[in-house]
């Protein structure tokens, strides 16, 4: 009998499939399509201290084997989430992850403090947003800047703390080590790649913000390599993501060292992709005689 359950630090997941922040809202809309409680977890839409309207102009742009986005962290703010979304979120029988971003260190601290006594299971601290002018990216490039924000947030919360890393970091392995040194309970990676699209007829960038975040199958081989490098160099668990669109992709990330995997862009292609990936992993395990995912995790 295949057991899909995994333990991420002290948190138990019924299966390793988590819906990535920014692609699943707070789960309410997808729950109208299928029972999302069959998933292992959901990472909320990225929350900032104050409500954000997001970026102007084009927000999503299709690319070969991928997608670019410049949403700009549109969200109701942490308090808006608590007041209007948390009731639904807290009743879900899965691991509930609050993704938190910010433009300043103070924003991160105040946002997490507001979430401290709320019914969530984990904080995913986003220090890696390339699609906003102020937020995330400044903290996700240099190791010592990341060290400060992780240290300060760790000091004010007892919730499991996962740090979401940028593939644009100067040294992603070094950054993961810094996060571990400062008390992070886990690492999630990779976020989108900083990218550019140009409208040749208008002779200007497609996005008002000029640069945007590239995701989807196009980034998978690079994301897989980074997950492998990081998981080999830290002792805390990793959530791997980047172009996962099938059970095969998910299994590759687990073999590269991921404890859990996150699915993002694929939700826009197939809203039920999470269920298909869970089913595919289970079928693979049965066919291969694998009882638990521990048997294949990090085998490379």
Q: Which residues are catalytic?
A: 129
8 Å CB contact between 97 and 124: yes
Q: Among residues 231, 185, 253, which one has the least CA distance to residue 7?
A: 185
Q: How many CA atoms lie within 13 A of 179 on its CB side?
A: 37
Please list, in sequence order, all residues whose beta carbon lies within 8 angstroms of the beta carbon of residue 93, skipping any fewer than 6 positions away.
Answer: 37
What residues pair up with 97 in beta bridges, in sequence order?
43, 122
User: b/e string for 81-102 if b means 16 or more Cβ within 10 A?
Assistant: bbeebbeebeebebbbbbbbbb
Please list, in sequence order, all residues whose beta carbon lies within 8 angstroms of the beta carbon of residue 135, skipping any fewer than 6 positions away.
Answer: 48, 73, 101, 102, 103, 129
**In the block, residue with structure tokens 């991921």:** 258
List the 60-63 sheet strands across, edge first.
60-63, 66-69, 211-215, 193-196
User: b/e string for 44-56 if b means 16 or more Cβ within 10 A?
Assistant: bbbbbbeebeebe
């Amino acid at each position: 009998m295949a057991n899909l359950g995994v333990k991420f630090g002290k948190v138990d997941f019924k299966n390793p499939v988590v819906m990535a922040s920014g692609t699943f809202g707070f789960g309410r809309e997808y729950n109208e399509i299928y029972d999302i409680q069959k998933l292992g977890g959901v990472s909320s839409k990225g929350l900032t201290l104050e409500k954000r309207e997001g970026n102007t102009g084009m927000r999503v742009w299709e690319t070969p084997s991928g997608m670019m986005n410049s949403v700009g962290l549109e969200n109701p703010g942490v308090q808006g989430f608590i007041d209007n979304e948390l009731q639904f979120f807290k009743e879900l029988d899965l691991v509930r992850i609050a993704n938190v971003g910010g433009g300043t260190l103070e924003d991160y601290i105040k946002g997490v403090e507001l979430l401290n006594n709320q019914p969530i299971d984990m904080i995913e601290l986003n220090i890696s947003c390339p699609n906003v002018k102020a937020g995330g990216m400044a903290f996700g490039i240099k190791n010592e800047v990341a060290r400060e924000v992780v240290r300060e947030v760790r000091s004010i919360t007892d919730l499991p703390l996962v740090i979401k890393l940028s593939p644009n970091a100067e040294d992603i392995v070094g950054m993961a080590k810094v996060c571990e040194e400062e008390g992070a309970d886990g690492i999630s990676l990779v976020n989108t790649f900083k990218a550019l699209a140009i409208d040749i007829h208008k002779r200007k960038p497609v996005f008002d913000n000029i640069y945007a975040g590239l995701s989807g199958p196009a980034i998978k081989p690079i994301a897989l390599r980074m997950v492998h490098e990081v998981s080999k160099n830290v002792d805390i668990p990793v959530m791997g993501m980047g172009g996962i669109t099938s059970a095969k992709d998910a299994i590759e990330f687990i073999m590269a060292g991921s404890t859990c995997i996150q699915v993002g862009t694929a939700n826009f292609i197939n809203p039920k992709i999470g269920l298909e990936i869970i089913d595919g992993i289970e079928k693979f395990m049965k066919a291969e005689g694998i009882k638990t995912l521990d048997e294949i995790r990090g085998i490379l």
